[in-house]
Amino acid sequence: MAADIKIVEEAKKPLSMHPQKFALWLFIVTVIMLFGAWTSAYIVKRGDIGWSEIVIPNLFYVNTGIIVLSSISMVWAVNAARKDNLEKLKLAISITTILGVAFLVGQFLAYGEMIAMKEFFTGGNVSHSFMYVLSGAHALHVIGGVVFLLIVLTASFKNKVHSKSMVRIEMCATYWHFLDILWLYLFIFLILNR
């Protein structure tokens, strides 16, 4: 009898979400703090004497377009997966991955442009070093994102991503959109602080 009573009184199940998705959001928080620290440092440094303002390479504008497009194709991919439209999913996730790689290549070429403008990582003014640190650290995170995309890409070509198995692609999309927004933040930040 006693056992029955325990059961009947079963308390409410606490609110919870998918642990891995939640952990990804926490990881995103740490990345926000990392870039928050650097951009705050940039603002503090900018108030100091001897600061020379930066020139933003033109390729950054192109790359910004590329990464925004890749976010749009990511949305497309997730929608296709949700509707079990696997052919469309394969196309969209491939486009996203290609755009991601294109962004990385573009950023690398932008460094060439910066060097041509005599904006060096070392030996020059701190403002130039900051440009490299911000975009370089972002690029490292994008490399991680591309690896994640490749994993999801392989899975979708094996038809393992569909409306009943969305966790991976949803997490990938969350991270990818975050990288997009992070770049937009950095880009606008640099434009406003030059």
Partner 1 sequence: MATTDIHTHLDVHHHDDHSHDHEHHEGNFWTKYIFSEDHKVIGKQFLFTGIFWALIGGTLSVIFRLQLGFPDANLDWLRPILGEWITGEGKLDPEFYLALVTMHGTIMVFFVLTAGLSGTFSNFLIPLQIGARDMASGFMNMLSYWFFFLASVIMFISFFLETGPAGGGWTIYPPLSALPQAIKGSGTGMTMWLVSMALFIVSQLLGGINYITTVINLRTQGMSFTRMPLTIWSFFFTAIIGLLSFPVLFAAALLLIFDRSFGTSFYLSDIYIGGEALPHTGGSPILFQHLFWFLGHPEVYIVLLPALGISSEIIATNSRKPIFGYKAMIGSMLFIAILSFIVWAHHMFVTGMNPFLGSIFMLLTLIIAVPSAVKIFNYVTTLWKGNIRFTPAMLFSIGLVSFFLTGGITGIFLGNSAIDIQLHDTYFVVAHFHLVMGSASFFGMLAGIYHWFPKMFGRMMDNRLGAIHFWLTFVGVYLVFFPMHYIGIAGFPRRYYSWTNFDTFNGFFDLNMLVSIAAIATLAAQFIFLFNFFYSIFRGRLASTNPWYSNTLEWTTPRVPGHGNWAGPIPSVYRWPYDYSKPGAKDDYIPQHIPYSETPESNLPHENELIKLETSGEQGAIIVEGKH
Residue ranges binding partner 1 (CB under 8 A): 1-2, 4-14, 16-20, 22-23, 26-27, 29-31, 33-34, 36-38, 41, 44-45, 48, 50-52, 121-123, 125-126, 129, 133, 137
Provide the greatest CA pair distance for the chain: 83
Shortest Cβ distance from residue 182 to partner 1 (Å)? 13
Between residues 80 and 186, which has the closer beta carbon with respect to partner 1?
Answer: 186
**Tokens 């740490």 found at:** 30
Between residues 64 and 127, which has the closer beta carbon with respect to partner 1?
Answer: 127
Shortest Cβ distance from residue 47 to partner 1 (Å)? 10
CA 97 from chain center: how many Å? Answer: 13
Query: At what angle are helices 19-46 and 167-192 packed, to 10 degrees?
Result: 10
Q: 132 with 173: CB under 8 angstroms?
A: no
Q: Residue 13 corresponds to which tokens in the numbers above?
A: 């199940």
Between residues 92 and 179, which has the closer beta carbon with respect to partner 1?
Answer: 179
Shortest Cβ distance from residue 140 to partner 1 (Å)? 11
